[in-house]
Chains A and B, each alone.
Chain A
């Protein structure tokens, strides 16, 4: 290990860390990235195998308690509405198991407090983030269509929309009957050959891995470029704590390698990208006499304000076959008809509804089919006859929703796991009830003979946000508008934990745009850190 500090050390090679590393290396910074997981063996992606559904329930399971990769730490869930946590610890982070839904936030998402009197405002606006959405979308390769009246005008840089198939046509017909807005869903999927990646070949069920490489996971988008630019990526590097110098500036990290050996690494700037659980966990683990409640936690907000989105699925059954096995899983057509606050409703903020295909055989059997003589009849009634809708709504941050270290359940080298505590707030419950009701309305308008839904429990833990949030006031936030820690000037946090509110859409696009913006600020501020050692 060289004694010379790197310019920038990134912790976490996921959706945000990849952006930071690549963007700064492009500028000429020396970047090192510590990732506690490893590269995913693409030969082992579930979808490379006919028994992909089974593989998806075992080593590819999104819940780390089930999957138990060497890089995983245990997560226990508590509270009135415990979260079923879905995270991946690997190069690519949780993007390796995402569906590719790739929305931009709406301008109002940045102003929840001002517009609706709840939650908090972001310390920046949509307009300030917009250029970085553009930059990031070009890197990822995003399919969609400019001109959606439910969002601000934008440059037509998108790849063609994904085919919608018969499920999508059924939903389009429903929206047209209802007179509602709809639009092809934006997805981080290359629908044509793009930037050396293959065009999507419509295998669907994208969270089970895309052997084709057209799903925009950062192990196939940012990382190959970042490595070519000279980023030093150290995998299987489990960070134990961040270190400070005598002046209280971030100095680097102490980490364990795959054999458990301890290493220290130094850098002039440290960027935390460990995600909504991993980042506050590491801040809490990095407590010291100077930071007795965890690093950068003078506000007491580290680990608090956990937001997860109000999520559910509604599923319509149709008499005719729906051919729901192909296309993209992440969404065919979607609506933001109910996205903005409407005073006539009994809640603030709103939600999206995103059409999906139909459930696959094993998934469906596990959900519905009884064992015994009636088994085949039930499966036959539903398989190839269902269209699913993914539902996602805004969740208002509350301090009571939080994470804590779990010293009773530890990882492979004895570092603590995480406890989550979550209660679905009253506004979120009302929003969720209406969201499901509206989804039923769409499916019935599409001709469904029956509709089932998943209610609001369990809490789907795909989107874990807000636990080291940005804000203008150091008393109520952890980082400032440039993702810079209020308490430690050369420490940045640029991942889902930094989002003060989560909008009502899948957040990866916004997380990555924010990371690109953060990288630009770090580079612009290089006079502050170059020569600081």
Chain B
């Protein structure tokens, strides 16, 4: 399946950590972190935890009855992932601290306490300057936590008709109607005979 937007990075795990850009994908293969499980922070201190909550809320805000990423535990999920993939911890910690500095420089008071607009501007600035891979990592983990959460999947079914349960439980479908092939069956053979 076509999967994400950066599939051209096909190096080896060792190369993933060699340069300034740390590609999280090479470090999370063994980080099994179920989505939708209640959990508390293990890596982040309370201040950084609050900042990360504020960050993921910017990435996927609440809208039209759908929760924000923070409301479905995306920050806790990211914390649990970097707990399992410890090589990513420093990348996350530095990124959170940088956001804190960016919003502090703009208006003071800290990232977590800033309003959504100020936080969004800081995240946008961080996205532009980031060379560590932290932004991509947090965005992708946030999407993971969001789009696998039962509450969000139920909202997608309610709003868009997307049946998110069918891929795990299956369901009935109408059998193929062979009469649809009437025209094609009347066509001449279309392959090269080889003698």
CB distance from A260 to the nearest CB of B (A): 19
Chain A stretch 61-92: residues in CB contact (< 8 A) with chain B: 61, 63, 65-69, 74-77, 82-85
**CB-defined contacts of B60 to chain A, threshold 8 Å:** 371, 375-376
CB of B38 closer than 8 Å to a CB of A? no
Residues A326 and B166 in contact, CB atoms below 8 Å apart: yes
A160 touching B13 in the complex, CB below 8 Å, given contacts A65-B26, A182-B184, A383-B156: no
**CB-defined contacts of B30 to chain A, threshold 8 Å:** 58-59, 68
**CB-defined contacts of B194 to chain A, threshold 8 Å:** 107-108, 110-111, 115, 125-126
CB of A49 closer than 8 Å to a CB of B? yes
Q: Which of A151, A181, A361, A417 contacts B147 (CB 8 A)?
A: A361
Residues B29 and A106 in contact, CB atoms below 8 Å apart: no
Bound-state Cα–Cα, A110 to B194, Å: 9
CB of B39 closer than 8 Å to a CB of A? no
Residues B160 and A384 in contact, CB atoms below 8 Å apart: yes
Residues B147 and A372 in contact, CB atoms below 8 Å apart: no
Q: What 1/0 mask marks residues of chain B from 88 to 106 whose CB sits below 8 Å from any chain A CB? A: 0000000000000000000
**CB-defined contacts of B64 to chain A, threshold 8 Å:** 376
Residues A57 and B3 in contact, CB atoms below 8 Å apart: yes
**CB-defined contacts of B190 to chain A, threshold 8 Å:** 149-150, 181, 336-337, 339-340
Chain A stretch 368-384: residues in CB contact (< 8 A) with chain B: 369, 371-373, 375-376, 380, 383-384
Bound-state Cα–Cα, A74 to B194, Å: 41
Q: What 1/0 mask marks residues of chain B from 45 to 63 whose CB sits below 8 Å from any chain A CB? A: 0000000000000111101
**Interface size (B, Cβ < 8 Å)?**
80
Residues A145 and B178 in contact, CB atoms below 8 Å apart: yes
**CB-defined contacts of B8 to chain A, threshold 8 Å:** 82, 84, 457-458
**CB-defined contacts of B193 to chain A, threshold 8 Å:** 107
**CB-defined contacts of A107 to chain B, threshold 8 Å:** 191-194
Residues A74 and B143 in contact, CB atoms below 8 Å apart: no
**CB-defined contacts of B14 to chain A, threshold 8 Å:** 74, 408-409
**CB-defined contacts of A321 to chain B, threshold 8 Å:** 160-161
CB of A30 closer than 8 Å to a CB of B? no
A327 touching B2 in the complex, CB below 8 Å, given contacts A49-B168, A58-B29: no
Q: Which of B15, B36, B144 contacts A50 (CB 8 A)?
A: B36
CB of B170 closer than 8 Å to a CB of A? yes
Bound-state Cα–Cα, A201 to B63, Å: 34
Chain A stretch 127-175: residues in CB contact (< 8 A) with chain B: 145, 147, 149-152, 160-165, 172, 175
**CB-defined contacts of A369 to chain B, threshold 8 Å:** 143
A82 touching B166 in the complex, CB below 8 Å, given contacts A202-B171, A366-B5: no
Chain B stretch 127-142: residues in CB contact (< 8 A) with chain A: 139-140, 142
Bound-state Cα–Cα, A408 to B18, Å: 13
Bound-state Cα–Cα, A162 to B8, Å: 33
Bound-state Cα–Cα, A371 to B60, Å: 6
CB of B20 closer than 8 Å to a CB of A? no
CB of A400 closer than 8 Å to a CB of B? no
Residues B160 and A376 in contact, CB atoms below 8 Å apart: no
Q: What 1/0 mask marks residues of chain B from 12 to 35 whose CB sits below 8 Å from any chain A CB? A: 111110000000011011111111
**CB-defined contacts of A205 to chain B, threshold 8 Å:** 1, 167
Q: What 1/0 mask marks residues of chain B from 146 to 169 whose CB sits below 8 Å from any chain A CB? A: 111110110010011111111111
Residues A380 and B191 in contact, CB atoms below 8 Å apart: no
CB of A93 closer than 8 Å to a CB of B? no
Bound-state Cα–Cα, A313 to B64, Å: 32
CB distance from A462 to the nearest CB of B (A): 10
**CB-defined contacts of A83 to chain B, threshold 8 Å:** 10
Bound-state Cα–Cα, A126 to B191, Å: 12
Residues A149 and B187 in contact, CB atoms below 8 Å apart: yes
A to B CB contacts below 8 Å, 10 in the list: A51-B34, A58-B28, A85-B10, A165-B174, A201-B169, A326-B173, A362-B143, A362-B148, A365-B146, A409-B13
- 17 further interface pairs, Cβ-Cβ under 8 Å (given A325-B162, A361-B152, A361-B164): A50-B148, A52-B168, A65-B26, A68-B30, A76-B12, A115-B192, A145-B176, A150-B191, A151-B191, A202-B171, A203-B167, A212-B170, A365-B143, A371-B142, A376-B60, A376-B66, A409-B14
**Measuring CB to CB, which residues of chain B are less than 8 angstroms from any residue of chain A?**
1-5, 7-8, 10-16, 25-26, 28-36, 58-61, 63-64, 66, 120, 123-124, 139-140, 142-144, 146-150, 152-153, 156, 159-176, 178, 180-181, 183-185, 187-194
- 7 smallest CB-CB distances across A and B, nearest first, come from A201-B170, A51-B148, A163-B173, A362-B147, A51-B35, A366-B4, A68-B29
